Structure 1
Amino acid sequence: MHPDWKEHLASHGALFDESGASHFGNETAERRAVTAGPVLLDLGAYHGLIRASGTDSVTFLNGQLTNDLRRLQSGGNLLAGYCTPQGRLLAIARVFRHGSDYFMRLPLDLRDAILDRLRRYVLRSKVTLEQADGERVTFGLAGPRAPEMLRSALGASPDESGSLESGDLTVLHIPGPRDRFELVGSVSSARSLWSTLQNEGARPVAGHWWKWFDVEAGIADVGRDTQEKFVPQTVNLELVGGVSFEKGCYPGQEIVARVHYLGRLKERMYRLHLSRSGDDEPKPGDAIYAPDHAQATGAVVQAHAAPDDGVDLLAVVHTSSVATGELHWRTPDGPRLDLRPLPYSLPHPG
């Protein structure tokens, strides 16, 4: 974490652990604020940035990612998967443009490995890939009045899946059931905007709540424990605009296209809820069981404590098992998981 940014957060009441700002002095009140909003969240402990600059940036990234980055030439932001040649996801990135540069926002603990892998394929392309989160900070704004607060502070706010450049700041609208924005910029710009938004009534809360917002929105994340476990469609990546079936080749493109045009998808990602039972919580990669399967019928993609009670999670599960209406965490007779709605429709299986 940039020392000036850490100092800024501390001046606003942040208390820190090894992962960053753990809370701002009252965890119970912060938990309530997550759903009441508006809230501010420091995301630097969770998000890394890779910048691509040079005349071949779009062509190069289009040859690596599942989405068509030409859609960003007039602004906006989008999700994109980075796959193995077998079509298995190594990472899911949110991609946006600032000026002539393109940025991939992805989990911080995957940044270096993904950057090294991408650099292997640069060859003669006129593109430079480098870490960018050392010079920029990322924070979030979510909840009621968030668009109005940005319009008051910046003069405008981006539309759905849109982006806005204001000096060295980039503001990204994140689609989902509640108003949510990611803000990326220099420490000085971020400090100024954070303070303005807090003075307007946004409450600082721990950054890990951003992960719960993703679960609520049905947006998958791939971490170290789930790399190479899923193809894009099983985590609903095409349903949240993360896959283009019209663009050219990229690693795993044949597999992804075959699943789309010819395959019968037997697994999908669902939103589930676990009532609180002790201190143990689901983790990415944990098994899901159902009465119709002797072996595991699915796996947890990501999970986070719910603001009210229990744990909300996203899990890839056999569609036939979901139809039985009975799913269990970790063992066939483990704690029961309840199905919760996603903010988008799943295609009918078959």
Structure 2
Amino acid sequence: MTESPIVSESPLLALPDAVASPAEGPDAGLPWHYGDPLGEQRAASTGAAVVDRSTRFVIAVPGEERLSWLHTISSQHVAALPDGTSAENLSLDANGRIEHHFVQTDLDGVTWIDTEPARGADLLAFLKKMVFWSKAEPRDGNELAVLTLLGPDTRRPEVAAALGLDSLPDRPYAAVALPGGGFVRRMPWPTDDAFDLLVPRDRLAGIVTALTGAGVRPAGTWAFEALRVESLRPRIGVDTDDRTIPHEARWIGGPAEHGAVHLDKGCYRGQETVARVHNLGKPPRHLVLLHLDGSADGRPETGEAVTAGGRPVGRIGTVVDHFELGPIALALVKRTITPDTALVAGPCAASIDPDSVPPDEGVPAGRAAVDRLRGR
């Protein structure tokens, strides 16, 4: 099959009032909003909205050993992933640092993977390099494009009918085929009612038209990003850096825990770091939600330092204006920084949302055993 080109611009930019996402950002080529970004967020939270995410890179992996093969080279337990089921997954380097985050869905003999636009070609090259003698055939799958449905009104029968279905999947990560190709899968984030649609690229505009006819509002990437930040879901390369390990980014857990790293599976690259942190220590940083001073002149930039008393204590990730919370950001900060610490991020005073701080689960079991052996 001829490989499709990396998609650089969405046809939905031709919709009325569409404003393009910043050209220097990770969502270049997609609608940022349609003239009412905060109203679009509200619709995605309390009504029904569809977000164009069609620049995500899609990979198809047919082959009878595709799941057992992926199981050996990634962090998630996917060797027996049932048909019509999805999972989040990571590819780590030898030191346990995150190289790729992706969502995979196994359906009708093919595993479909979608990942960040800028990282997809590298992930595909890595997968091809790791096939060796396995019966798996990773290839470009960009004939499918990603849309995301959000909001409680997606439960209305008219929405499913617009897609040619009787109903949408009712369990997180469940997936069903769509008439005419592609599939819909339920996701556990960024809202309680979230569905990814992977649809034939040449039908993308027509499917959005059908959804809007069923009362679904078009929303830009601004809306998706605001709700993603609120839900404490990181985006690789934006909320992570080249030192980030899975524990820092809250990606620990199997599909049942909505994570991307299963702690009870066989060997994979980077497993030693994951096991060491889990059993013997705690991550040096953790991902938190920051509230930013909205009266400041400007906003911090992604990658900028978070400081306390003039000392760097963290790194800013996604920065966004939320329709209810105001200006917020994700940040990786040192684990020792408490919510009452006065912080500065770029031109803004900042504070950690206390509800975003991971609970202290005490001394890891492995560390406690070592301490007992040492008489501590």
| TM-score bracket for the superposition, by shorter chain length | 0.7 to 0.9
Aligned to 1:10: 14
CA distance change for structure 1 residues 142 and 165 in 2, over 3 Å: closer, same or farther?
Answer: same
Does 1:55 find its partner at 2:64?
yes
Bigger Rg over Cα: 2
SS of the residue corresponding to residue 137 of structure 1 reads: strand
Alpha-carbon distance in 1 for matches of 2:285, 2:36: 40
- Structure with the bigger RCO (C-alpha within 8 Å, sep 6+) is 1
| Counterpart pick for 2:288 among 270, 279, 283 | 270
1:166 equivalent in structure 2? 178
Give the partner amino acid of 1:156: S
State the one-letter code of the partner of 1:170: F
For residues 208 and 234 of structure 2, the distance between their equivalents in structure 1, rounded to whole angstroms, comes to: 27
- TM-aligned CA distance change 1:122 to 1:64, over 3 Å: same
* Structure 1 residues 130 and 282: alpha-carbon distance in aligned structure 2, compared to 1, 3 A threshold: farther
Distance 2:305 2:317 in 1: 10
Q: Could you say what secondary structure the match of 1:299 adopts?
A: strand
Q: What pairs with 1:99-248 in structure 2 (closer than 5 Å)?
A: 99-133=108-142, 135-149=143-157, 150-153=159-162, 154-158=165-169, 159-167=171-179, 168-176=181-189, 177-187=191-201, 189-223=203-237, 226-238=240-252, 240-248=258-266
What's the CA shift string for 1:31-79, capped at 9, x where partnerless?
553444311111013x211222212211221122110113532322221
CA gap of 1:10–1:278, structure 2 versus 1, over 3 A, is same
The structural deviation recorded for 1:213 is 2.2
Does the aligned pair in 1 maintain the 2:293–2:327 contact within 8 Å? Answer: yes
Q: TM-score, normalised by structure 1?
A: 0.86
Alignment map for 1:245-260 (pairs within 5 Å): 245-260=263-278
Contact 1:215 1:302 in 2 (8 A): yes
Pick from 28, 44, 59 the counterpart of residue 54 of structure 2.
44
Q: Aligned AA for 2:312?
A: A
Q: Which amino acid aligns with 1:146?
A: T
Quick one: distance in 1 between partners of 2:299 and 2:9? 34
**3-state DSSP of counterpart to 1:146:** helix
- SS at 2:134's partner residue? coil
Following TM superposition, by how much is the alpha carbon of 1:188 offset from its aligned partner in structure 2, in angstroms?
A: 5.2
> After the TM superposition, which of the residue ranges 29-38 and 166-175 deviates more from structure 2?
29-38
Q: Are 1:90 and 1:227, in contact at CA under 8 Å, matched by a contact in 2? A: no
Gaps of 5+ in 2: 1-5, 364-376
Q: Whole-Å Cα distance in 2 between the matches of residues 147 and 157 of structure 1?
A: 7
RMSD of aligned residue pairs (Cα, Å): 2.9
Residue 11 to residue 264, structure 1, CA distance change in 2 (3 Å): closer
Decide whether aligned partners of structure 1 residues 340 and 275 sit closer, same or farther in structure 2, where only a CA change above 3 A counts: farther
Alpha carbons 1:276, 1:309 under 8 Å: kept:
no
* Cα distance, 1:204 vs structure 2: 0.5
Distance 1:225 1:144, change over 3 A: closer
Where structure 1 has 5 or more consecutive residues not aligned to the other structure, the ranges are none
Residue 102 of structure 2 corresponds to which residue in structure 1? Answer: 93
TM-score, L = length of structure 2: 0.80
**Secondary structure at the counterpart of residue 294 of structure 2:** coil
SS, match of residue 337 in structure 2: helix
- CA drift of 1:288 comes to 1.9
5 Å-filtered alignment, 1:11-30, equals 14-16=18-20, 19=28, 20-27=30-37, 29-30=39-40
The answer to whether the 8 A contact 1:31-1:307 is kept is: yes
